[in-house]
A and B are shown apart, each in its own frame.
Chain A
Amino acid sequence: MTVRIETLPPERENTLLAAYSGAVASARRRNLAVFVVIVALYLLAGWMAEVRPLTFLDNIQNFTAYLGQILPPLTLANLPADVAAWYWGLPKWLALLGETILMAYLGTLFGGIAAFGLCFLASANLVRSPAIRFCARRFLEVCRTVPEVVFALIFVIAFGLGPMVGVLALAIHTTGALGKLFSEVVENIDMKPVEGLTGTGAGFLETVRFAVVPQVLSNFASYALLRFEINVRGAGVMGFVGAGGIGQEFLVAIRNFYYSDVSAILVLIILTVVAIDLATERLRHHLLGREAHA
């Protein structure tokens, strides 16, 4: 089906076009200015970060060569034996991966419990005292801003090497990150149950237990699962500073140029993280879906 559209009379078309180009021109000028500023900042940042594009171009084949080196020498004729040789350390690596996941679990659990305790204090709709709120928020901010690896570095000196340190570092960072998200959830609740309980003379703890917690629990669980996923990634690199998990083994492999080990461990890490991603995503959909139906 073709539709014929009548063209406008020329003088009308010309005024419309002029108005259009006038409107577009100012927007264009502004966009151009933003673009120029961004490019200038980009170049400045490149200069500060010692980017050497020519060296990079020279070295880019290093990257492909490196990828070629870490790929295992698999041959089709002798595949099972080659794979077995590639994964010669599988039992040890699996044990370390298990340790990594347990670290992420404990870190998320402890951090989640601490965040649960603190988030109500940081919520504007439950706590009237600005001083308490301010302290709770700043505390969460510090926990969140200092990267977990920095905590791990300090804790390794204080507590000694080992996965316990990694758990503590993850827990502190998780407290900060989850505390903020939790308090945002709490600030968005329906206030009617809270008013109802306050009306009967309930105290702070009773109000939180019976009016707030039932509303926020599934959202909390969903955020905690998301954090668990992030923490698995984080726990994977805790070993770089001696705080347990598979990171130590990976660092040794990459520093000592055990090429096929690098790829073997990397593939294991990727598989684990992707599997946990998928599993937590399904669980979260289940949790949030149940809430939507309720």
Chain B
Amino acid sequence: MRNRPPSALRQAALADLDGLRARHPAVFRAAWSRRAVVIGSLALVVGLAVFAMMRLDFSLLRILHGLHRLSEFAGMMLPPSAEGRFGLFLTALGETLAIAFLGTLTAACLAFPVAFLAARNVVPNPFLRFGVRRGFDVIRSVDVLIWALIWINVVGLGPFAGALAIACSDFGAFGKLFSEAIETADRKAPEGVTASGGSRLHRVRFGLVPAVLPVLASQVLYFFESNTRSATIIGIVGAGGIGQYLTELIRVLEMQQVAFLVLMILVTVALIDLVSARLRRAIIGGAAH
């Protein structure tokens, strides 16, 4: 998309600009009502932003001062180095992955049966469906860090609380996604099972489950990726994983080690992205054939 020399078409159009204006006035001047809507909503967005910035004490001085300090930190980060704690970091990273894996899989196993209760084509009772859906919404609206704090009070500090926290917050998300996947599944297969004399459970087992399983599996993989990211921060409140080191090292300004940890996280997440993208393609492709 480089700038090109003006073409003949453009020159012709420019030469006849006044004629074009006269012939197609609507193209050159938008209707006033539309323009008012656009300007009005822009003014609303900007006005709210200005109000928010005043309310939240934005100050240019602080930003400039902070940027100066940030550039200092960036200088301190070079070169990234583990300073002999590589083994420790690697163990913590393993713990993080374990938390993510455990939490995701547990949430998926728990949400799988419950999601059928929230699907319109399985449970005709609207009250039960509504109740289960709102339950998922409530669980989903609590952030993973809040769940971690709650579980720490129950099982104590450590990665176990982190895994439980991820399992809880994902349970809500999976419930919603799974039930949507079940609802959009093809109706023909369950109908066929009913026609050959299958019961309601047969319908679910042989009509719906084979159709939705690949979709669900790919969603689970996708969440495993994003949970690896969440599991890196769960240590901030004391629930295990690499976040614990990250918090400590940022607080004491060991910037070289911070940079090393961040690089480790970036590489790990990129690797998991790669592997899970391949697996997902294999699963979905397998279902398509």
Among listed B79-87, B177-185, B201-209, B261-269, interface-contacting one: B261-269
CA A266 to CA B232, docked complex, whole Å: 24
With A45-B102, A237-B145 as known contacts, state yes or no: A127 contacts B153, CB within 8 Å.
Answer: no
Given the interface pairs A146-B262, A237-B145, A277-B137, the reply to whether A198 lies near B1 with Cβ below 8 Å is yes
Q: Within the assembled complex, what's the spacing in Å between the Cα atoms of A38 and B265? A: 23
Check A150–B159 contact: CB distance below 8 A.
no
Chain B residue contacts of A50, Cβ below 8 A:
158-160, 240
Contacts of B265 in A (CB 8 A): 145-146
Interface window among A14-22, A52-60, A76-84, A181-189:
A52-60
Pick the contact of B56: A102, A150, A200 (CB < 8 A): A102
List, sorted by A's number, 16 A–B pairs whose CB atoms are closer than 8 Å. A48-B95, A49-B162, A63-B154, A126-B1, A127-B1, A147-B229, A147-B232, A154-B70, A154-B258, A155-B70, A162-B57, A163-B56, A203-B3, A204-B2, A250-B146, A269-B141
B138 CB–A CB distance under 8 Å? yes
Residue A254 interfacial (CB < 8 Å): yes
Bitwise interface map of A from 39 to 76 toward B, beta carbon under 8 Å scored 1, else 0 = 00110111111111001100110110010000000000
Q: Is B78 positioned at the interface, with any CB of A under 8 Å from its CB?
A: no
CB within 8 Å for A153 and B56 given contacts A159-B63, A277-B141: no
Asked if B97 and A45 make an inter-chain contact with CB atoms under 8 angstroms apart, the answer reads yes
Q: Measured between alpha carbons, how far is A106 from B52 in the docked complex, in Å?
A: 7
User: What chain B residues lie within 8 Å of A203 (beta carbons)?
Assistant: 1, 3
Of the candidates A49, A145, A254, the one whose C-beta lies within 8 Å of that of B160 is A49
Chain B residues near A (Cβ < 8 Å) = 1-7, 9-10, 13, 45, 48-49, 51-53, 55-59, 62-63, 65-67, 69-70, 73, 94-95, 97-99, 101-102, 105, 137-138, 141-143, 145-146, 149-150, 153-155, 158-160, 162-163, 229-230, 232-233, 236-237, 240, 246-247, 250-251, 253, 258, 262, 265-266, 269-270
Does the CB pair B233–A254 fall under 8 Å? no
Chain A residues, Cβ within 8 Å of B137 = 274, 277
Most A CB contacts (10 A, CB to CB) among B6, B51, B98, B237 go to B98
A167 interface residue (CB < 8 Å to B)? yes
Residues of A within 8 A of B155 (CB): 55-56, 59, 62
| A7 to B73 Cα, complex, angstroms | 80
Pair A153/B250 contact, Cβ less than 8 Å: yes
Complex: A240 Cα to B70 Cα, angstroms: 21
Which residues in chain A, 95-145, are within 8 Å of chain B measured between CB atoms?
A: 98-99, 102-103, 105-106, 109, 126-128, 141-142, 145
CA distance A109 to B143 in the complex (A): 21
Residue of B nearest to A241 (CB): B236
Alpha-carbon gap, A150 to B101, bound state (A): 21
Say yes or no: A167 contacts B56, CB within 8 Å. Answer: yes
Q: Encode A242-271 as 1/0 by CB contact (under 8 A) with B.
A: 001000001100100000000000100110
Complex contact A244–B266 (CB within 8 A) = no
Nearest residue, chain B, Cβ from A5? B196
Interface residue tally on A, bucketed by range: 35 or more
**In whole Å, how far is A162's beta carbon from the nearest beta carbon of chain B?**
6
Q: Name A159's contact: one of B5, B62, B142, B246 (CB within 8 Å).
A: B62
Within 8 Å of chain B (Cβ to Cβ): is A174?
A: no
A164 close to B (CB within 8 Å): yes
Residue in B59, B146, B162, B236 with the greatest tally of chain A CB atoms within 10 Å: B146
Cβ-defined contact, B52 with A158, below 8 A:
no
A177-195: which have CB < 8 Å to B?
Answer: none
Question: Which residue in A38, A49, A62, A102 is a CB contact (below 8 Å) of B154?
Answer: A62
Q: Tell whether A49 pairs with B98 under 8 Å between CB atoms, given A55-B155, A99-B56, A200-B13.
A: yes
Our pick among B66, B70, B141, B150 for the contact of A273 (Cβ within 8 Å) is: B141
Most central of B53, B56, B269 by chain A CB within 10 Å: B56
Given contacts A49-B160, A142-B266, contact A99 B55 (CB under 8 A): yes
A290 CA to B9 CA, complexed, in Å: 34
- Supposing A105-B49, A244-B56 touch, asked if A145 and B266 sit within 8 A by C-beta, the answer is yes
A160 within 8 A of B: yes
| In the assembled complex, A199 has its CB within 8 A of some CB on chain B | yes
Residue of A nearest to B162 (CB): A49
Nearest chain B CB to A189's CB is how many angstroms away? Answer: 13
Question: Known: A150-B233, A201-B5, A251-B149. Contact between A158 and B70, CB under 8 A?
Answer: yes
B270: chain A residues within 8 A (beta carbon): 141, 145
A113 to B: closest C-beta gap in Å: 10
Instruction: Establish whether residues A66 and B153, one from each chain, have CB atoms under 8 Å apart when the complex forms.
Output: yes
A225 at the interface (CB under 8 A from B): no
Chain A residues with Cβ below 8 Å from B146 are: 236-237, 250, 266, 269
Assembled-state Cα–Cα distance A153/B253 (Å): 11
Choose from B1, B2, B145, B229 the contact partner of A145 (Cβ within 8 Å): B229
Task: Answer whether A153 and B236 are a contact pair too, CB < 8 Å, given A109-B45, A237-B143, A244-B56.
Answer: yes
